[in-house]
Amino acid sequence: MAAKLKKGDKVVVLSGKDKGKEGTIASVDPKAGKAIVDGINISIRHTKQSQNSQGGRVPQAMPIQLSNLAMVDPKDGGPTRVGFKMDGDKKVRYAKKSGEVIDA
């Protein structure tokens, strides 16, 4: 199945501790069905000091399930589902709420 959410998309969290927050997708793992969103699902990682890094308590964004994310509608800014349609001979993603084409 084609990935409906991609790196660089602006998304809103639908459920969990960060419900309602918005962020940009940093990376997607389609096999696991998860994505890492900047500033969302932050966890504290304790790292040991080394020659290259300081060490200590480092905040790190953890993966979040794709089903808990929704694309931000380009027209009204609310959450929307993503669909596919043919635009001439090219397959494009569009926001189902407003019908706006996401990537042309």
Q: Which domains does the chain have, with CATH numbers?
A: 10-95 (2.30.30.30)
Return the sign of the alpha-carbon dihedral for residues 61, 39, 78, 3.
Answer: negative
Distance between CA 38 and CA 96 in Å, rounded? 25
Give pLDDT tens digits for 43-75: 999 999 999 989 899 999 999 999 999 999 988
On the 0-12 / 13-18 / 19+ scale of CB atoms within 10 A, 57 is exposed
Residue type at position 30: P
- Whole-model pTM: value is 0.84
CA 45, chain centre distance (Å): 21
Mean pLDDT of all residues in 26-42? 94
**Tokens of residue 19, six digits:** 């419900």
For the chain, what percent of residues have pLDDT higher than 70?
A: 97
